[in-house]
Amino acid sequence: MSPRKVLTVLMVILALGATAGVVRAADQAQVLKDGAAKMEALICESEGQAMGQKLALFKQAGLAYQPSLMAPLTGVIACKNAEQMRVLYGMYTFDANIALVFGKKKEYVETQQLLRQELTDKLKLSDKLQVQGMTAEELKKVAENPDDPANRELFIKYAFANIHAWIALSASDPEVMHLMVDSFYGATIQGLYVSCKLALGAGGGEKLVALFNEQASRLDKADQIVGAYAGDRELSVLVDKDERQKVLKPIIALLQEKKGNLAEADLKKILAQVEPQRAALVAPCK
């Protein structure tokens, strides 16, 4: 082949590669938009005002707040990578919310401070995430009577204002998308862990059916959110789709099969899936 032909072939190959890169970038942008729309539908639209009632299921089942089941606030973040910190963000968010449901103002405030300061700074997202929070007076009011419908609505208003804004950002910003997907997974794992541990102490049974049916719904949403990024290989790998679905799908199947009425053996089976995931995240730094 003459030098001129070789040059022509190389130019064609480079042009095709550049075109493919533009197409892939456009495809990824669409997957980001579709993923954000899925999160908006599954989290904001379907949860809405029901969030407070769903968290209150812990109290309605007769379960008590146990600090030992919450993720440690000190000694675990410094040695974690970015993905682990994003998952921890979700775990701490669950812990903060459940603390407020039980009227634990101190624990709520301490966990929120960790989320807004240390974790957000380490993830280098402080400039992107504008957080709306309750005033000191509003927080006092909610913590003193978290079961009051007006107080519950106040808490939900702030929570969903932040979630809605961050989901909108995730439609065009992969870093925010990673935080949303990873943190929802973290909240799901922590919610399951706390639910199962408390249920084992309470002896399981029908009083916990509503709580575990809600856990099944939350797991299914986490599975759908992870799956929403399957259309782009890079994003699918970044949200750890395959590994996470290996954890989620068997638990979803078990909860659906038992219709939320779990025996001790079922609770232990779920914990066998969840505890290794959680243990790596809360392991103390050396």
Q: Binning pLDDT at 50, 70 and 90, where does residue 23 land?
A: very low
Residue 244's pLDDT is what?
80
**What predicted TM-score, i.e. pTM, was given to this entire model?**
0.82
- Listed in sequence order, the residues at least 6 apart from 140 whose beta carbon sits closer than 8 Å to its beta carbon are 105
Residue 120 and residue 129 in contact, taking contact as beta carbons nearer than 8 Å = yes
What pLDDT was estimated at residue 20? 39
Q: Which pLDDT tens digit goes with each residue over 213-261?
A: 888 888 888 888 877 777 777 776 656 667 888 888 899 899 889 998 9
Domain extent listing, the chain: 3-282
Query: If you average pLDDT over every residue of the chain, what do you get?
Result: 81
Q: CA gyration radius for the chain?
A: 22
Q: What b/e readout covers 248-268, taking b as 16+ CB neighbours within 10 angstroms?
A: beebbebbeeeebebeeebbe
Whether the Cβ atoms of residue 123 and residue 86 lie closer than 8 Å to each other:
yes
Q: Which tens digits make up the pLDDT trace of 28-84?
A: 788 888 888 888 887 765 555 566 667 778 888 888 899 999 999 999 999 999 999
How far from 225 is each of 212, 240, 248, CA to CA, in Å?
20, 11, 12
Query: How much of the chain exceeds pLDDT 70, in percent?
Result: 84
Mean pLDDT of the 179-188 span: 89
Query: What's the pLDDT score for residue 35?
Result: 82
Give pLDDT, residue 168.
Answer: 86
Which residues neighbour 230 within 8 Å (Cβ) at sequence distance 6 or greater? 236, 241
In this prediction, residue 24 has a pLDDT band, given cuts at 50, 70 and 90, of very low
In 102-232, where does DSSP find H-type helix? 105-113, 120-122, 136-144, 149-170, 174-202, 209-227
| Lowest-confidence pick of 165-169, 186-190, 271-275 | 165-169
Query: CA-CA distances (angstroms) from residue 204 to 8, 12, 48, 114, 191?
Result: 72, 66, 28, 33, 16
The pLDDT tens digits of the residues spanning 133-168 come to: 788 888 888 788 877 878 877 877 777 778 888 888
